[in-house]
Structure 1
């Protein structure tokens, strides 16, 4: 019996030593992730197959590869919290080291994102963010309020500082576009001969944006300009003006620089674009996630600059055009 006991004790000690060895060196940056899982990152953008988010993924993949990490993407078919939430839940089960996410709603996505954090997964918000500031280790986005002000300045010049102007926003509760609308509204007040018609929501549907433009033209014959706060809304606004025979007569400032929008700018369907740097946001997102995983310091909030692009300087600004493939 004594020999059997000694044997069992020896096995137990060896097992404890082996377990301690795994625990001491098998994890990077804490949490419950294994060493292998902690080298994996997941990007959850706002919507699938949109050039802005494709460009973001290109930048993120490039940075992840450079740092020895593997990055995969899972995206909802529409910019909706109801479609993004089950993706987050599925990613939670795989326990990657970090998640880069563009929340589709600033309140509804907070709970599922908090579940990621509570599981030891490092969360980085890219492009959009939730109202709960405690969830992510870093937030990287364009300076969207600055972008709205740039749009107001650009549109005011285009319309000769007179007439009525409209803002087409996407969905209430989308942090980025709400800040763009806010910046525009504050800046446009500086022009006394411009009448601000307020903002209307398009639900991120181009067809609805086109319909709103049409009805606004009927109600406001002096409509001089439109600011569309995102890609889909801008494409719809351009269609609405074209259908009404008002292309060029009513000036349109769009946000983002997708291939379709760049083509519209070149052809005259859009008069100016406010472009972001999505690839830069992706790169910085990976940088911050890796720092958190490896126990290094992170920056709580990072804002990237934007640029106004007109037909006259678009060839010189081509580095800001968004991609459809990496």
Structure 2
């Protein structure tokens, strides 16, 4: 049941000998020349956005690992996770400055392919995190096994609603690997293992709080017997919780299962509005992408894929030190 699909990803380490000569992109103003900076190895990281605290947690892990390794990193991303062109321009700018390596989390797995070819032509290694591009150029991917994580969410959802009833899904993307794998891992697990649970609707709010709230309210109005909603990322989950609040629903009226962390989800779980969620290890993900970038730049072999982990948390274990260490505010 638990399986992982990361697109076309091959263990290709490209031009590692050139990697130490580069520089990295600035957080919002573009890349800086290595010769004018600290003299340290430069690694540029480009995330899917700044909209959610998840990415700030990834950044924290990346910065901690960079300090440990003695390298300089920059971390940038578009304001929202729908700004594909802006993200690709950030990638192009970073490539032009030739850092030692680039860490990239693709918003669109197809749109990034031509830009990856530019990186290949210029000998700039790419390490991926969270979401891959459908290119065979990248050396490695650091990410959660999103299919398996969503399957775990499905198991908990089914148990929480007593193994029967109508549920729905508020997804965050139909095109990114994370969005597809989380949807499919949840849906396929429900269909294969819980025949008395019926998924009545799947809609996408692009991780936007307001749009996801409106979708949740529409779903609840259209399906009066709806027992549960699975939300596939931080923004989706916060939106669903907000929608339920706006309808005046109380804890226990509907079972909400989320994904990721953040202050709003943590509070919703503690208050009982949300039953639980899947947390990743964003700090560990950030640390891994920097480590892999460093290894590639220094000529070491890296694994094709590193599963950075995913875990269920709810009111019963949210304060457990092992889980608390994976949660971010």
| TM-score bin (small chain) | 0.7 to 0.9
**Root-mean-square deviation (CA), in Å?**
1.7
Please name the residue that 1:131 is paired with. 134
The number of equivalent residue pairs is 295
Matching of residue 234 in structure 1 with residue 237 in structure 2: yes
Give runs of aligned pairs for residues 175-186 of structure 1, distance below 5 A. 175-186=177-188
Do structure 1's residue 206 and structure 2's residue 209 form an aligned pair? yes
CA distance in 2, matches of 1:74, 1:297: 26
TM-score (norm 1): 0.86
**2:292 matches 1:288:** yes
Given candidates 307, 310, 317, the residue that maps to 1:306 is 310
Change (3 A) 1:315 1:46: same
Unaligned runs of 5+ in 2: 1-14, 24-33, 35-39
User: In the alignment, which residue of structure 1 is the partner of 2:5?
Assistant: none
Deviation string, structure 1 residues 18-53 (Cα, Å, up to 9, x no partner): xxxxxxxxxx93237627748100111110152111
2-structure distance, mates of 1:32, 1:42: 12
Match of 2:76 in 1: 74
Aligned twin of 2:281: 277
- Candidates 307, 318, 327, aligned match of 1:321: 327
Of 214, 220, 223, the residue aligned with 1:220 is 223
CA-CA distance at 1:87 after TM superposition: 0.9
Q: Quick check: 2:50–2:78 contact (8 Å CA) kept in 1?
A: yes
Bigger-Rg structure (1/2): 1
Supply the distance in 2 between the matched residues of 1:186 and 1:86 (Cα, whole angstroms): 36
Post-superposition shift, 1:64? 1.5
Please report how far the alpha carbon of residue 214 of structure 1 lies from its aligned counterpart in structure 2 after TM superposition.
1.2
Q: CA deviation at 1:245?
A: 2.6
Which residue number corresponds to residue 17 of structure 2?
A: 30
* Match of residue 103, structure 1, among 83, 103, 106: 106
Partner SS for 1:111: helix
Partner of 1:264: 268
Q: Does the alignment pair 1:193 with 2:196?
A: yes
Whether contact under 8 Å (1:77, 1:83) holds in the other structure is no
Are the equivalent residues in 2 in contact too, given 1:145–1:184 (CA < 8 A)? yes
Aligned residue number for residue 17 of structure 1 = none
What SS does structure 1 have at the residue aligned with 2:159?
helix
Partner of residue 151, structure 2: 149
Structure 1: which 4+ aligned runs deviate by more than 6 Å? none
- Matching residue of 2:66: 64
Using the TM superposition, give the Cα deviation of residue 192 of structure 1 relative to its aligned residue in structure 2, in angstroms: 2.0
What's the CA shift for 1:169?
A: 0.8
Question: d(CA) in 1 for partners of 2:272 and 2:43?
Answer: 41
Higher helix fraction (1 or 2):
1
CA distance in 2, matches of 1:136, 1:109: 11
Scaled by the length of structure 2, the TM-score of the pair is 0.85
